[in-house]
Structure 1
Amino acid sequence: MFNAIGAYVRGVEWFNRVVGRFAMYLIFVMLAVLLYSSTSKTFFTPSIWTLESAQFLMVAYFLLGGAYSMQLDAHVRMDLIYGRFSPRTQAVLDALTVGFLLFYLALLFYGGISSTHYALEYKETSYSSWSPHMAPIKVVMTFGILLMLLQAIANFFRDLAVILGKELP
């Protein structure tokens, strides 16, 4: 049983590492889009697609990189008291509070699936003058939320191993 959990944690963390490292470079794509936007507004005809494209890239950057951030424990945390606890006590607190995170992410995932289904079924477009289809970014958002949900479960298993004093294989 512990080998299966270890395989799950390794698989999820490997996949999130690959996706997270890809997502890190989306910031440069977004910067290029914004640079083009500024240049085109100053010297040429303004583009109608740049602002919304930058917003979509930022959403992808945050949501696809979220699971990797969770894996690296690089997210924001109020650390005034928590940082003084032993690793085992920290793992106990994390294991107790992960239920709230899982509930929140499960609701987000359910909403993402529903919203993506709607966007695909009705060919939903944005209300802007560019009017891009919303389905691609909603698929990316739902996928990013799923990765965070899987990483939260993997973090729970890691915390459980620390609590039990065992090493994940």
Structure 2
Amino acid sequence: MNAEDAVKRSDGGAWRLISCYVRVIDRISDYVGYLAASLIFFMGGTLIFDAITRNLIKMPVHWAVELTQFTLAAYYFMGGPITLKNNEHVRMDLWYSTLSERGRAKLDLVTVWCLIFYLGVLLAGSISSLQYAIATNEKRFSIWNPSVIPIKALLVACLVLMLMQAFSLVFKHVATLRGEKL
């Protein structure tokens, strides 16, 4: 075996590992995204329940709208990774669509590193906020007075998944530049 074959073999092993990482993260993002999509039914049911108890029974429940707000936050957090995976995020397409596949991959590689930096800063702040919420048993000031720890913990978990999905995108763009598919 010559040196070139050894490089190909070691490179192939790394790409197999990267390919496995991309598949696993993409699948997790899909599952979390589908779970997020199902939350719309929960939110609708909660709001219908609130409308019935408030208007028909004349016994308002104070927690329904606030629970829906928390669920909507979870919906947004959990929808981020699948949005990245499916390339359905907002983009200015005036000239992006005119670029070649390699040109788009180069531009996406630059912007994904900006995203990774942003998500890293956001994750650091979210962890700090979660630690504070746990230390003080932080609750939302309202009639219902729910704990904010679960929603802050979900934000941290979803940011970690979004970071993992962003690194998956890095690998996909590098593969495109190499003329490969992941």
Q: TM-score range by the shorter chain?
A: over 0.9
Output the CA distance in 1 between the equivalents of 2:71 and 2:181.
Answer: 38
Output the CA distance in 2 between the equivalents of 1:82 and 1:72.
Answer: 17
Name the structure 1 match of 2:67: 53
Name the structure 1 match of 2:174: 160
Output the CA distance in 1 between the equivalents of 2:73 and 2:94.
Answer: 30
Output the CA distance in 1 between the equivalents of 2:157 and 2:55.
Answer: 37
Q: Which runs of 5+ in 2 are unaligned?
A: 1-13
Q: Which runs of 5+ in 1 are unaligned?
A: none
1:118 deviation in Å? 1.3
User: Structure 1: which 4+ aligned runs deviate by more than 6 Å?
Assistant: none
2:138 is aligned with 1:124: yes
Name the structure 2 match of 1:27: 40
- Partner-residue secondary structure (3-state), 1:131: coil
Q: Which of 113, 123, 131 is matched with 2:127 structurally?
A: 113
Between the two proteins, what is the percent identity of the paired residues?
37
- Partner-residue secondary structure (3-state), 1:25: helix
Q: Which amino acid in 1 is paired with 2:32? A: V
Output the CA distance in 1 between the equivalents of 2:53 and 2:99.
Answer: 53
How far does the alpha carbon of each residue in 1:55-95 deviate from its partner, in whole angstroms, 9 at most, with x for none? Answer: 11001111111101111111121111111211111110000
Name which one, 1 or 2, has greater alpha-carbon Rg.
Answer: 2
2:87 is aligned with 1:39: no
Normalised by the length of structure 2, the TM-score is 0.89
Q: Which amino acid in 1 is paired with 2:88? A: A
Normalised by the length of structure 1, the TM-score is 0.95
Name the structure 2 match of 1:13: 26
- Partner-residue secondary structure (3-state), 1:78: coil
Q: Which of 72, 76, 93 is matched with 1:62 structurally?
A: 76
1:108 deviation in Å? 0.9
Q: How many residues align?
A: 168
- Partner-residue secondary structure (3-state), 2:47: helix
How far does the alpha carbon of each residue in 1:106-125 deviate from its partner, in whole angstroms, 9 at most, with x for none? Answer: 01111111111111121110
